[in-house]
A and B are shown apart, each in its own frame.
Chain A
Amino acid sequence: MIKLIGLVPLFPLIGFAINGFFGKKLGKKLSGGIAVLSIAASFVVSLLVFMELNGIANKSQVVNLFSWINSDTLSIPFSFLVDPLSSIFLMIITGIGLLIHIYSLGYMSHDEGFARFFTYLNLFVFFMLLLVLGNNYLVMFVGWEGVGLCSYLLIGFWFKNTEYNKAANKAFIMNRIGDLGFLLGIILIFFTYGTITYGDVFAKAHTGSETIITAIALLLFVGAMGKSAQIPLYTWLPDAMAGPTPVSALIHAATMVTAGIYMIVRSNIFYSSSEDASEIVAVVGAATALMAAIIGCVQTDIKKVLAYSTVSQLGLMFLALGVGAYSTAVFHVTTHAFFKALLFLGAGSVIHAMSGEQDIRKMGGLKKALPITYLTMGLATLAISGIFPFSGFFSKDEILAYAYEENKALWFVGSITSLLTAFYMFRMFFLTFHTSFRGTAEQKHHLHESPKSMTIPLIILAVLSVAGGLLGIPAAFHGSNWISTYLNPIIMHKNPSTLSHETEFLLMGIATAVALVAIYTAYNVYQKSNVLPAENEKDMRPFERFAFHKFKVDEFYAFTITRPLNMFSTALGKFFDNQLVDGFIEGIGVVVKWLSGVVRQLQTGNIGFYIFSMVLGIVAIIFWSILK
């Protein structure tokens, strides 16, 4: 089955082609069916590949598809690598992708761009699979760019809204900055090692000097910053919520934004060989986690809260990467994919029921109308808050344990982040589902539980969110930590935990206590005292207002980068383009016009004259050929 790995990305590609070319003619049922079936087929193949890989000893299977680029020193085959890391991502992408496709059938059923939506979604899955399956950096880069494109298309899916288009542009441009770093990293790898195939590069990695390795690691990290929304390139992700909610769940929570983590785990040898790079990754991750969590506490748009939560969780994953806990980061990617996809889909269900309302101040008391959504989202909220025994508890605690071991300050920031996480998640949860309804009467009349196609994925994801922790039960619980063992072959320098079980339990206790305190506070404020986030900005306290405006980062970027750049290009456009280039081009036009006016005199319309000139022309041609 591993030999047939090419089928995994092929199915979504076929679905994309069919929907892209004939989507409108097929009708909603057929085009949706094709999209879902293509992902389902790809999921089945992935599952078989995963099981086969589990059964064999050689856990690094390369499948050569065809020779892609072949020139003198550069030889790049288009080949896929099936190993523990890519197989885990394979399962996440196709599995969650399948659930979200099914969910979208219901969510997008009233949208006129139904077929277009599934076209983009299938294309996204294709590129994402390419990204994780590629056996060299270039194939990964193709997937990397492809998912960026699909993200752009899907954020601007409702392209009639100018704001959404701006958000799409923002995401794309921010990602371009990161992509440039990634590309430079690849080029540097090629220059240093003469190859970009994973196996060869990693085998030679130690031959590079420390500086070069650090440079490579940092350049790759710039790419990861863009794609995985880390400081300073994170601002696109909250705006990306302009896209349809299933897109936010699939692309901007579960899969694409974790590409950066995948890339760093894949290239872990560079990071474990470079102390400085790792430190920067950890610090950036921790700062992002904390900052996004603070902003998340004051947001009132349900999707924005989740978006900042995603940024914050991604920050935690980078913190894990920075302290050398690569398998833990993957573990958290997995559990995060479960509960964050669930949260987004649940939010989508809520928005669906509220006829498009996203402001949590206008919700409230929805638990009666949406029992399934309420229950599943509740489980996901518990999971993300890190309550035992839900999945988030295990992965987050593992990260905090590694952080504690490496650097107490990082651990402290991480703990604060998880405190805030529990707080804002329950704030959102209470405001949405508890207390009394605050929307209009019309909305209240309209409230309804979502159709089966939407609730079933919710239920499945809820089960996974609850049980996902089983993948990595730590030794302290007498677990085997399957995911860590499974990922062992691809981690070059292991960083075994030396913490005693007692310390570990202590850390867990602290984390749980912190989370419980946060939940209790949220309960007190929003459930019991019925406090509502301020409607008016003037009612906010200064810091709250500052956080509500996302610390004015967008304005800062606009002032320091966008505006000078705009002024520069305007000046350049006015002088260089309008005067120089246009003058040159128009000059050519004037000359040609004048010349043709002269030459036109030859066009007499007299056939006799034409024949004459033809004969003379033939004579000239023959004469010339004789002379030659």
Chain B
Amino acid sequence: MRGILLQSAIISTPIEWYIMLSAVLFTIGACGVMVKRNAIIIFACVELMLNAVNLLLVAFSSYHSDASAQVFVFFIMAVAAAEVAVGLAILSMIYRNLKSIDINVLSKLKH
């Protein structure tokens, strides 16, 4: 019963919609990265962008009946987890030293 129900999702929803959804989510993430000044939220928005890509990968995987793309999503998740762990450690280190995570304060790259 459930299998049939879900199968129909693929048939009843054209892939363009998923593409649109992913693109919108990705853009929202990118917009957040640009608007926000809090480094942690920027980080969160990057995660949102990653997930938009993941969603698109899964959509194509299902429409193609190919498991490879889902494996890639799996790897992206692993990489994202590693990235978050290291990134948040770096951010907490920055906060400890500068008492701020405003990216405008972090303009040391200039020198």
Chain A residues at the B interface, C-beta cutoff of 8 Å: 603-608, 610-612, 615
User: Are A603 and B110 in contact, with the CB atoms below 8 A?
Assistant: yes
Contact of A611 among B33, B108, B110 (CB under 8 A): B33
Contact residues in B for A611 (Cβ distance below 8 Å): 33-34
Q: Among the listed stretches B9-17, B67-75, B99-107, which one makes contact with chain A, having 4 or more residues with CB under 8 Å of it?
A: B99-107
CB distance from A594 to the nearest CB of B (A): 21
**From residue 1 to 40 of chain B, which have CB atoms closer than 8 A to chain A?**
30, 33-34, 37
Q: Given that A615-B30, A615-B34 are contacting pairs, would A608 and B108 also be in contact in the complex, using a CB cutoff of 8 Å?
A: no
Q: Which residue of B lies closest to A604 (CB)?
A: B110
Cβ contact within 8 Å between B108 and A605: yes
Interface residue ranges of B30-78 to A (CB < 8 Å): 30, 33-34, 37
For this complex, into which size category does the number of interface residues on chain B fall? 10 to 19
Give the contacting residue for A608; candidates B30, B104, B110, B111; CB below 8 A.
B104
A603 vs B110: C-alpha distance when bound (angstroms): 6
28 pairs from A and B in contact (CB 8 Å cutoff)? A603-B109, A603-B110, A604-B107, A604-B110, A605-B107, A605-B108, A605-B109, A605-B110, A605-B111, A606-B103, A606-B104, A606-B107, A606-B110, A607-B103, A607-B106, A607-B107, A607-B109, A608-B34, A608-B37, A608-B103, A608-B104, A610-B109, A611-B33, A611-B34, A612-B34, A615-B30, A615-B33, A615-B34
Q: Which residues of A contact B104 (CB under 8 A)?
A: 606-608
Give A615 to B32 CA distance when docked, in angstroms. 12
For B39, give the chain A residue with the smallest CB separation.
A607
Assembly CA distance A612 to B31 (angstroms): 10
By a CB distance below 8 angstroms, the chain A residues around B108 are 605
Nearest to B107 among chain A residues (CB) is A605
How many Å lie between the Cα of A604 and that of B106 in the bound state? 11
User: How distant is B40 from chain A, measured CB to nearest CB, in Å?
Assistant: 14
CB distance from B65 to the nearest CB of A (A): 28
Interface residues of B (CB under 8 A from A): 30, 33-34, 37, 103-104, 106-111
Closest Cβ of chain B: how far from A329's Cβ, in Å? 76
Considering the complex, give the chain A residue whose CB is closest to the CB of B103. Answer: A607
Chain B nearest CB: distance from A310 CB in Å? 70
Which residue of chain A has the shortest Cβ distance to B37 in the bound complex? A608
CB neighbours (8 Å) of A603 from chain B are 109-110
Closest to B110 in A: A605
Report the separation of the CA atoms of residues A610 and B104 in the bound assembly, to the nearest whole angstrom: 11
Q: Compute how far the CA of A603 lies from the CA of B111 in the bound complex, rounded to whole angstroms.
A: 10
New contact pairs (7) apart from A606-B103, A606-B107, A606-B110, CB-CB < 8 Å: A603-B110, A605-B108, A605-B109, A605-B110, A606-B104, A607-B107, A610-B109
Cα–Cα, bound, A148→B75 (Å): 61
Q: Which residues does chain B contribute within 8 Å of A615, judged by CB atoms?
A: 30, 33-34
* Cα separation A610 to B33 with both chains bound (whole Å): 11
- A605: chain B residues within 8 A (beta carbon): 107-111
A356 to B21, CA, bound (A): 92
Give the distance in Å from the alpha carbon of A610 to the alpha carbon of B108 in the complex.
13
Chain B residue, CB-CB nearest to A605: B110
CA of A612 to CA of B36, assembled, Å: 12
CB contacts (< 8 Å) of B34 on chain A: these are 608, 611-612, 615
Q: In the assembled complex, which residues on chain B have CB atoms less than 8 Å from the CB atom of A604?
A: 107, 110
Residues of A within 8 A of B109 (CB): 603, 605, 607, 610
Q: Which residues of A contact B103 (CB under 8 A)?
A: 606-608
Q: How far is the CA of A615 from the CA of B111 in the complex (A)?
A: 23
Q: Provide the residues of chain A in CB contact with B33, threshold 8 Å.
A: 611, 615
Q: Which residue of B is nearest A616, CB measured?
A: B34
Top 9 closest pairs, chain A to chain B, by CB = A605-B110, A605-B107, A607-B103, A605-B109, A606-B107, A611-B33, A611-B34, A608-B103, A615-B30
CB closest chain-B residue, reference A608: B103
Contacting residues, chain A, for B106 (C-beta < 8 A): 607
What's the Cα separation between A8 and B89 when bound, in Å?
65
Question: What residues on B are CB-neighbors of A608 within 8 Å?
Answer: 34, 37, 103-104
For A610, the closest partner residue in chain B by CB is B109
Q: B30 to nearest A CB, angstroms?
A: 6
CA distance A611 to B45 in the complex (A): 13
Q: How far is the CB of A249 from chain B (nearest CB, A)?
A: 67
Expressed in whole angstroms, the minimum distance between the Cβ of B8 and any Cβ of chain A is 33
Q: Which residues of the partner chain A approach B111 to less than 8 Å between Cβ atoms? A: 605
Cα–Cα, bound, A608→B38 (Å)? 11
Question: Within the complex, what minimum Cβ distance (angstroms) separates A406 from chain B?
Answer: 86
Give complex CA distance A610, B106 in Å.
12
Docked complex Cα distance between A618 and B37 (Å): 21
With both beta carbons as reference points, the residue of chain B lying nearest to A615 in the complex is identified as B30
Task: Give Cα A611–Cα B104 distance, bound, in whole angstroms.
Answer: 12
Contacts of B30 in A (CB 8 A): 615
Residue among A604, A608, A615 with the highest chain B CB neighbour number at 10 A: A608
A179 to chain B: closest CB distance in Å? 57
What is the CA–CA distance of A615 and B109 in the complex, to the nearest angstrom?
19
